[in-house]
Amino acid sequence: MTSLRRAGAMLAAVAAGGGLVGGAGYLGLVTGAAPVDLGIGRRTRPLGPLQIQIAAPQQTVFAVIRAPYGKRVPQALRDKVRVLERGTDMVLAAHYTPIRGLLRATTIETVRFDPPHRVDFRLVRGPVPHVVEEFLLQEADGGTTLTYSGELGTDLWGLGERWGDAVADRWEAVVKASFATIKSEAERRPGRQP
């Protein structure tokens, strides 16, 4: 009877350990701390396109987009973006996105600037193995049209595809929130279009 109790206790410990490892793996994946990039069964899906009209000049809108990556990061953005490395037309930046409670995702991305027309993003580390994105700025009706599009890729065939769909929904929601902030800030700055 003692050996049966020991075996039962060992099985319970293994199950608890498996649950703990599984939970930790999920948290690592969701937060971007333990990305899965196996290179097998890769599936991609589009992000966007999303578009917004902004009543401000193209240069102003571009300056607002670039501000979080400058040498003097606005106070309101310091808990959202941290520049890790800086070049003349590109930065390597950590982006922090709240998930739930104190939990937040960290993505590391290169951000390349082509003033005042384009900003390109390429994922280096995050909850999925592949993301490329762009912001295109075009003068329109005395203001600026800002367009977002991209591509998100996951591994492991259908399982990864379902994970990619969940991540893409959240990713696009973050971009929409960024659009609202960019529009508000650009239209608030001096020199905006009436």
Torsion of CA 158, 159, 164, 169, to 10 degrees: 100
Q: What is the pLDDT of residue 101?
A: 85
Q: What is the pLDDT of residues 150-184, one digit of tens each?
A: 999 999 999 999 999 999 999 999 999 999 999 99
Measured distance CA(93)–CA(84) in Å, rounded? 5
pLDDT of res. 100: 83
Name the pTM for this structure. Answer: 0.84
Distance set, CA 182 to CA 52, 56, 146 (Å): 10, 10, 10
Rounded Cα distance between 91 and 120, Å, is 11
Mean of per-residue pLDDT scores for the chain? 87
Tens digits of residue pLDDT in 16-42: 555 544 555 666 676 666 777 899 999
Q: 74 falls in which pLDDT band (50, 70, 90)?
A: confident
Token pair recorded at residue 16: 């608890």
